[in-house]
Amino acid sequence: MDVLTVKHIEIIIETMTDIIIENEVPFCQLDSAAGDGDFGMSLAKGFREVKARSGELSRESIGHFLKDVGMIITEYCGGASGPIWGSAFRSAAKYSAGAAALDLNGIAEMLNCAVEGIQKRGGAKLGDKTLLDALIPAAQSLRISANSGLSISEASKLAAVSAVQGGEKTRSYVASKGRASYLGERSLNYPDAGAVAIGVIFTGISKKIEDILK
């Protein structure tokens, strides 16, 4: 059965956490170019807490686990990252409430819910120079892969490529959300830190998925 179980999701979040902590400084540097330079730090602050409290997280279902992660992120990530990333996890958790495992179709739908959770919060859309510019292409890629009957491993590799490309494309966008929006045209040529981070995170996760589903 090609599915991700609670245990798999746990490993994926661990991987994500490690990537975010390792990249704290590079993510801040990316954000200093056009934003306010606190992105890597805000994100790492929340995920460090996830790591520290991993023993307390519910493993009852994928939804339970992601909800607990989301609560910690909401509470400990600083700035706008807390509500935005927290909403993504909460929406994903709502979709996967009670689920012991998800197939590719479910994973694609769950990521789509995460996108909707973020949009509900910040009101951003594709092209606004936010993390959604990487996350939406990744979610769309997963959806297409699911419809074409690819394996989870293949699909996550393709989603990571879409996320990286989406992050890179933000160089050509003018920011319209958050503090970078005050720079207007001056935000051109700098990629959005959140979108780049999604590419880095998805790349790391896809490698991990390949390992665990082998």
Partner 1 sequence: MKKIINSPEAVVNEMCLGMERAHPDYLVFDPKYRVLSRKQPDKSKVCLISGGGSGHEPAHGGFVGKGMLDAAVCGDVFASPSTVQVYNAIVNNKTDKGTLLIIKNYTGDKLNFEAAAEMAQEDDDIAVEKVYVEDDVAVKNSLYTVGRRGVAGTVFVHKIAGAAAETGLELPQVKRIAEKVAENVRSIGFALTSCTVPAKGTPTFTLAEDELEFGVGIHGEPGVERKKITGSDDLAQKLLDMILEDMPLVRGEKAALMINGLGATPLQELYILNNSAGKILDQHGIKVYRTFVGNYMTAIDMAGASISLLKLDDETMAYLDSPADTPAFGLL
Task: Return d(Cα 167, Cα 174) in angstroms, integer.
Answer: 13
Q: Which stretch binds partner 1 (CB under 8 A): 31-39, 102-110, 119-127, 193-201?
A: 119-127
Q: Which stretch binds partner 1 (CB under 8 A): 6-14, 145-153, 155-163, 176-184?
A: 176-184
Task: Return d(Cα 54, Cα 37) in angstroms, integer.
Answer: 28
Q: Is 84 in the site for partner 1 (CB under 8 A)?
A: yes
Task: Return d(Cα 43, Cα 188) in angstroms, integer.
Answer: 24
Task: Return d(Cα 73, Cα 203) in angstroms, integer.
Answer: 21
Q: Is 90 in the site for partner 1 (CB under 8 A)?
A: yes
Q: Judged by CB, which is closer to partner 1: 49, or 103?
A: 49
Q: Is 122 in the site for partner 1 (CB under 8 A)?
A: yes
Q: Is 211 in the site for partner 1 (CB under 8 A)?
A: no
Q: Judged by CB, which is closer to partner 1: 37, or 122?
A: 122
Q: Which residues pair with 102 in a beta bridge?
A: 4
Q: Is 86 in the site for partner 1 (CB under 8 A)?
A: yes
Q: Which residues contact 93 (CB under 8 A, 6 or more apart)?
A: 62, 63, 64, 65, 66, 67, 69, 70
User: Smallest distance from the beta carbon of 83 to partner 1, in angstroms?
Assistant: 4
Token pair, residue 53, equals 């409290």
* Chain residues in the site for partner 1 (CB under 8 A): 71, 74-75, 79-80, 82-84, 86-87, 90, 94, 120-122, 176-178, 181
